[in-house]
Chains A and B, each alone.
Chain A
Amino acid sequence: EPEVTQTPSHQVTQMGQEVILRCVPISNHLYFYWYRQILGQKVEFLVSFYNNEISEKSEIFDDQFSVERPDGSNFTLKIRSTKLEDSAMYFCASSDEVAGNYEQYFGPGTRLTVT
């Protein structure tokens, strides 16, 4: 069964460093998303992406964040200058939303630890 994959599974970085989290969405999906989940808290939407541009973003997704689809398979989230409060699980998701299929399929996540 097709699935969303994410790399790395765990990333440790120092405050102020740039990180890139990578995702490979399900191949026939058209919509891509990033969410984060701080330990013990709810899953929070960051950004959605369609047709090579951002479709929607939350207040969390400020100028420190950017997303890119550098090729036909990868979808990346970049955090330019990490802060301690960026420590969280980051989930990539994809959906096709063709004929109203709004369910989203999540990857296993990348645990980001900022020290």
Chain B
Amino acid sequence: KNEVEQSPQNLTAQEGEFITINCSYSVGISALHWLQQHPGGGIVSLFMLSSGKKKHGRLIATINIQEKHSSLHITASHPRDSAVYICAVEAGGSQGNLIFGKGTKLSVKP
């Protein structure tokens, strides 16, 4: 069993829909990252969380440390949100020593 599990693996949505991507982990963590990877391969850091909730524009990330679960929400989705969203955790190693989930491939149709 992977230490970081994401669901769903693939997600297709219509423009404007509210999207939720889930991440569950089985190890103790110091922080959790949500990353976005576009088809060209470049990775963008969206959020780093150790507790609570963060919001940036149409993106919201939450984490429940007791339940070892995090969610990434996208409101009013847009085709430019199409990408792979990756959950990664810092688990005992140094900052940046991340354990990555397998990613959720999101496709938003116009």
* A and B interact physically: no
Residues of A within 8 A of B (CB): none
What is the interface of chain B, defined by CB distance below 8 A to chain A? Answer: none
